[in-house]
Amino acid sequence: MDLPIISAAVIGLTVVSMTDGIGSATAPHKAEGVAALVGEHLYASEDHIVSWGPPVRAEDLSLKDLGLVSEVITSATGEAQGLVVSVGGLWGIGAQDVQLGMDRVHLIRAQGGETRLVVDLSAEGAEPPVDGLQS
């Protein structure tokens, strides 16, 4: 009897049955709505980001990676009111949580269809809107 051929067949069948089991497992559920922001990178820009006018692209801004969104603060109706961002540290050790209001955070489209969460750190972005209008 040819033992190496039988061994190879048994190993092959084992591998095939294991990969079918792995492939049929369901993928983890992706969060929806504002909860999908958790784990996203937040970038900072000292360039003023206007809320109206021609669309701003992420490539047009000088962006600095601030950290990861660790929590979304929501109102009773589920609307996002702020973000908690883990900033600094090395590999997550020594990072500090910073809370930001949503009034300065923008969702900006980048090349290739991706989006970036960007906080406006310019002097103009720090000014409160006048009569509900923002320049």
> Tokens in use for 127?
């000014």
Q: Does domain 33-126 have CATH number 2.30.30.240?
A: yes
The pair phi, psi for residue 93, each rounded to 5°, is -90, 125
CA dist 97 and 51 (Å) reads 27
* Tokens 């999908």 sit on residue: 36
Neighbours of 116 (CB within 10 A): 20
Sign of CA dihedral 29, 80, 129, 127: negative
pLDDT in tens, 44-82: 888 888 777 677 878 878 888 888 899 899 889 888 888
In order of 10, 61, 70, the CA distances from 45 in angstroms are: 58, 7, 20
Walking along the chain (135 residues) 10 residues at a time, the average pLDDT comes out as: 57 56 53 78 85 76 87 88 85 80 85 85 61 47
